[in-house]
Structure formats: C-alpha cells, structure tokens
Amino acid sequence: MLYALARFLETEFDLPGAGLFQFITFRAGMAIIISLVISIIFGGSIIRWLRRMQVGEKVRDLGLEGQKEKEGTPTMGGIIIILAIVVPCVLLARLENVYIQLMLLATLWMGAIGFVDDYIKTFRRNKDGLSGKFKVLGQIGLGLIVGLSMLLNDGVVVRMDAQQARARGYEMVETFEIKGRDGQPRQVANVRATLTDVPFVKESHINYQAAFSFLGKDAELWGAVFFVLFVIFIIAAVSNAANLTDGIDGLATGVSGIVGVTLGVFAYVSGNAIAADYLNILYLPGTGELVVFAACFLGACIGFLWYNAYPAQVFMGDTGSLMLGGIIGAMAIVLRKELLLPLLCGIFVAENLSVIIQVWYFKYTKQKYGQGRRVFLMAPLHHHFQKMGLPEPKIVTRFWIVAILLAVFTVLTLKIR
C-alpha cells in the first residue's frame, strides 16, 4: 500500500523522497522497524487479552526443573507474530507479486490451522487439540497451492538463455532481448520448469520432471505429480519440526529468525540478475521482493522474543510454531533452495530425528528385551539437555549459536562449488 502510494506521489507530484520506496533494501529496513514496533506495542495488549480470556498453557509434568512455574502462561502468542508479519508486508511489499501473495497465504493458512488447534486445547479444554489428520490435510492443502502455483502461474518463472531453454525443451512463457555483459544483444526466456539449484555443484540444476523422461509422453505429468508431492512433504516436515522445537522459551523463535535472515539473503541474490549470474544460481525474476517479506519475518521473530525470552510471558502455541515452519518450507521452495533445508534447518532436523530415534529404539528394545530403553534422557533433544541439568537460557543460546553456524555455512554454499 505504501509502495503504491509512494509511486503515485512520485509520478504525479514528484514528491521528494518518495523514490526511496523503489529500493528493496529501504523497504526491508522499514519492514523490520514496523514489525518490531507492532510486536512490542501491541504484543503487551494481546498478552493481557489472552490472560483475561484465561488462555493459559496446561503443562504436563515431565519432571523438568522450573516446569510448574510455566503453568498458566498465556499461549496462542503466535497471533502477535502473524500481526507483525502481515501488517508491514501489506504496507511495504508489492502485493501484485505472486511470491508475496504465496507467502502471505502460507502465513495466514498455517496460522489458522495452529489457531484452531490452540483454540480447541484452551477454550474447549481438549488437551489433544485439532485431530492430526486435519492438521495433515491443512498442510497438504498449502502444499498443493504452492506446488501448483510453481507449475502453472506465469509469474513463477526462471530466466535463462533462450537457446539453452529450447535445447532442453522447457516451456517458454516469454522471450525478449537484453544486453549481455559484453554489450551484445542476447535473447533470454522466462521458462516454467520444476528446476532447483543443487548445492556444492557448479552450474548444476535439477529438473524434477526430467527424472521421469523414461516414461516418454507421460513424463511431464508424473514429474509434476512428484514435484507437488515433494512440496507437500517439505511443508509438512518443516512445519512439524518447528512445532517440535517449540518446547522451551525463545528456542523456536530465535532459530526461525536466523533461518529467515538466510532465506532473505537467498531471495536477494536469486532476484538479482547480476548476482545470480555471478554465483551460477537460477535467476528468479520477482523473488527480490521476498527480501521485504523476510524482513517482516525477522522483525516479527525478534519482536516476539521481547515477550518470549526466558522467562516467557507468552508462548506462541501451534498458532506460531506451525506457521513459522510452514513459512520457512514454502519460502525455500519458491526460492528453489529446498535442497539446502537439511543444512539450514539443522536444529529442526536434529529435534525431529531425536524423537524418531527415541520412539524407534524404545519399541525395538521393548520387543527384543521385553523392556523399552532410551537413547536420550528425553526427546525432543532440548529436553535431553534439560534433564542433564542445563538451564533453559544456556540451552537456547547454544542452539542459537549452532543455528548461526549452520546459516553461515548455508550461505557459503553459494561459493563452495
């Protein structure tokens, strides 16, 4: 909205300073500020409202130190994060951009699923919350929308040399001429294809549909089906992993913010023709606008930490954790960097694996020895360290440090090829 207003004022009245809104970096900076202000100013009011509504967390007795003190802490604080993402994004982003539309949809969609789950737990006093099958259906729905948009929307394209696109049989949405780095005219094309960047390999990209070329004329159809299913899997896996990570004060929020910054870096280089060409990654016209969204995401996470840092005044609940994971998964997909998620989201992966390993080993040893044994003192992983006697702030800080190391290494993959 502010972007459109600034363009109008600059065009019609030549208003000094209105041109600043053309720059993504300026709007991203403003987005962080507005998001932080919204989180801090309105967050307190939302927490007080949640207290009045008696939306308190019911804490199961897991034998962890300081656990009982958290009883009654307001939950559903993810509402604060949603507000701090959506409002500045609507104000500062270009709303006609398909990538912004998809990310706003992912935010509201996953936030709504988490909200219903929290509502059932708190207002209906049903500790099980929303049925697992309905959560999965919601994740499948978002995956279908994102996957089909990647396949069918004319705004979701990869720009490459037109001759190369023809040789590989890609569907060309548009072709035009530009000046190459040597100053000579060069024909390029916007193509619609299920391409993604491959880390650690120079000038290499995967085309999911090409993997089914052995099927002949049905290759395109089955490739599209596989791609959509893969998108659904990623969104479901990351959103559930973020949900598992949300177990102690500030952990999921801080890790998500670090991941969001990294995805913002990838959005900037992927949406810049010169940077993408230099780094040998896919040039994705329009994705630069996601830098603004990533800034909103970062500001919302930092702002929420104002209240969620130890000792937490509010918990995000599934309203926040499912949403954060859904956003991260969807954003990685549209930036075609989903193959980097196991590295970038290493904390989420470790938390998820700790639960899988714990459950599998317990069942295996119970069947074999008649008594279940455990690999970890408790799963997910952060509870293992709590059982070891480490205080929450130390665990959270160390997880953040690991997340930063993983994020830096993920960015370095742009050059390690």
For 20-53, give the DSSP string: GGG-HHHHHHHHHHHHHHHHHHHHHHHHHHHHHT
- Is residue 170 included in any domain, yes or no? no
152's enclosing H/E stretch is helix 132-152
- Is residue 319 included in any domain, yes or no? yes
pTM above 0.75, yes or no: yes
Range with the poorest average pLDDT among 56-60, 284-288, 328-332, 400-404: 56-60
pLDDT of residue 218: 79
Selection from 61, 70, 36, 54 nearest residue 248 by Cα: 70
How many separate domains does the chain show?
1
pLDDT of residue 128: 75
pLDDT of residue 175: 86
- Rounded mean pLDDT of 359-384? 91
- Is residue 130 included in any domain, yes or no? yes
Q: Is the pLDDT of residue 361 over 90?
A: yes
- Is residue 16 included in any domain, yes or no? no
pLDDT of residue 276: 92
Which residue, chain included where needed, has tokens 């396949």?
151
Strand extents, DSSP E, 181-245: 185-192, 195-197, 205-207
Q: Is the pLDDT of residue 66 over 70?
A: no
- Rounded mean pLDDT of 32-40? 95
- Is residue 74 included in any domain, yes or no? yes
The range of the structural domain enclosing residue 28 comes to 24-156+220-412
Which residue, chain included where needed, has tokens 């993983």?
406
> Which position has the higher pLDDT, 211 or 278?
278
pLDDT of residue 257: 97
Angstrom distance (rounded) from CA 350 to CA 236: 16
Alpha helices for 53-77 (secondary structure H): none
- Rounded mean pLDDT of 116-136? 84
- Is residue 3 included in any domain, yes or no? no
- Is residue 48 included in any domain, yes or no? yes
Q: What is the overall mean pLDDT for the chain?
A: 89
Which amino acid would we find at residue 144? Answer: L
Instruction: Kindly indicate the confidence band of residue 84, based on its pLDDT and cuts at 50, 70 and 90.
Output: very high
pLDDT of residue 104: 97
pLDDT of residue 61: 56
Q: Within 13 A of 14's CA, how many CA atoms are on the CB side?
A: 0
- Is residue 70 included in any domain, yes or no? yes
